[in-house]
Amino acid sequence: MSVRGLGKTYRIGSAGHRPTTAVEAIMARLRSPWAKSRFTEFDALDGVDLDVPWGEALGIVGRNGAGKSTLLKLLTRVTAPTRGRIELHGRMGSLLEVGTGFSGELTGRENIYLNGAILGMTRKEIRSSFDEIVDFSGVAKFLDTPVKRYSSGMYVRLAFSVAAHLRTEILAIDEVLAVGDAEFQRKSLAKMRDVAKDGRTVLYVSHLVQTVTALCTSAVYLDRGRLTYAGSVDGALDVYRRSFEQFAMEQQDPERRPGTGTLRASSLIPASDVFDPAESKRFVLGVGSNPDLVGSYFVSIHVNDASGAVVAQCDSRAVGGWYEASKEQEIQLTLRAPWLKPGRYTVDAFVCQTGVLDAWEGASAFEVLPATPYPEMTLDEATAQGVVLADYDYEGR
Ligand SMILES: Nc1ncnc2c1ncn2[C@@H]1O[C@H](COP(=O)(O)OP(=O)(O)OP(=O)(O)O)[C@@H](O)[C@H]1O
């Protein structure tokens, strides 16, 4: 597979700019002048050259909005490139966002055949993989149910199984392993490794660094639409990790942060770098002063998980938190619930009035220890699903 000078330009006004980070979403919602003037036309991807030999499992990493999904959408012809050339030399099977590829009204069985046909498989070819697909997916009982009735887990399992077993020469997978449970993740990684060993090519986008390490034989790093690293998996992940540190450092300089700048946060300090899942998490947000600022302001602190998803939006307005800009403030946030799963979290801070005065992405970070808050069970499988840990009881006999 080879790609030369590949680029995609989006224009606001036609499709509009889709915010990808929490900060962008907030800026767009509050219609700050910064967000308006910043995007009119922009390159989601530009000047990408890439050669992927057969049998390679290529990881594609980069920060939110770097253009990873756009690259896969261009390669799978979901979107047309604005410029550049793509030579695949083979058929491409793909699993992009959940919800694409399958027709909700059709049953699982019908979707398997439909997908195969779309990929240019003969009925005989599809039939020869059919049992394997069904076995792997674990949805045998629901084969004659329309897929719109499937849970998201069942849907992903079947979609993955179809994409991995139909004998396309290239397989493109975007982020889906984050959806499935731990057992399915393990199975899918092993399956993708087999696919690559078979001499087929795997393209794999993920925020889950461990899965990139476990699966990929090489990797590329995308930075704001440009491919700035191509080489070993370790090399790409190293650049990826350093980009977070670099970004966090840049954002410490208020001048480089979005927002009107009428009032800026000065610090965001967690009570500890590590917390237990169920303990209260405290943060102190320092905010400067501006005697010219009329009226009070509010703040919002967001906690994001490792994939960048916002787990909690703690807006001070919701609990009556309004502050005066005439003097410097130290504002304390105590986050009692939900219980957070073990892992690394980043924290964003916003200072707002009618618009955003300061948007500080990655103002702080903390870790939640791999401890269990539950009195009995410590098995992984008991907590594998779900975004957070629930505080619950059971009663009955
Ligand atoms: N249909 C669209 N119209 C306008 N802008 C778009 C569209 N699709 C994507 N974008 C923008 O293109 C940029 C690249 O998006 P893309 O989804 O490829 O990034 P990504 O690296 O996959 O991000 P993430 O890790 O968050 O999935 C982003 O700024 C996004 O907002």
Cβ neighbour number for residue 123 with a 10 Å cutoff: 11
- 224 and 102 co-located in one domain: yes
- 177 and 305 co-located in one domain: no
Give distance in angstroms: CA of 204 to centre of ligand 1.
16
pLDDT at 156: 83
pLDDT at 90: 86
**What CATH number is given to the structural domain containing 142?**
3.40.50.300
More confident residue, 38 or 234: 234
Cβ neighbours for 210, distance < 8 A, ≥ 6 positions apart? none
d(CA 75, CA 42) in angstroms, rounded, equals 20
- 66 and 124 co-located in one domain: yes
- Strand pairing of 265-270 and 274-275? unpaired
Q: If we measure between CA atoms, which residue out of 76, 142, 80, 154 comes closest to residue 115? A: 76
Residue 325 lies in a domain: yes
- 186 and 269 co-located in one domain: no
Q: Residue 98 pLDDT > 60, yes or no?
A: no
Give distance in angstroms: CA of 319 to centre of ligand 1.
34
**What CATH number is given to the structural domain containing 361?**
2.70.50.60
pLDDT per position as a tens digit, 155-205: 888 888 888 888 788 999 887 665 666 778 788 888 888 888 888 999 999
Q: Note down the domain range covering 27.
A: 2-246
pLDDT per position as a tens digit, 331-356: 999 999 999 998 889 999 999 998 99
pLDDT per position as a tens digit, 2-47: 999 999 998 754 344 566 666 777 766 655 445 444 556 789 999 9
How many structural domains compose the chain? 2
- 71 and 201 co-located in one domain: yes
Give distance in angstroms: CA of 73 to centre of ligand 1.
10
The CB-side HSE value for 63 (13 A sphere, CA atoms) comes to: 18
**What is the residue with the minimal CA distance to atom 1 of ligand 1?**
15
**What is the residue with the minimal CA distance to atom 16 of ligand 1?**
67
Residue 195 lies in a domain: yes
The band of 83, judged by pLDDT with boundaries at 50, 70 and 90, is: very high
Ligand 1 binding pocket mutation candidate from 8, 9, 10 (most atoms within 8 A of CB): 10
- Provide DSSP, 154-212: HHHHHHHHHHHHS--SEEEEESGGGTS-HHHHHHHHHHHHHHHHTT-EEEEE-S-HHHH
- 290 and 235 co-located in one domain: no
- 210 and 311 co-located in one domain: no
The band of 259, judged by pLDDT with boundaries at 50, 70 and 90, is: very high
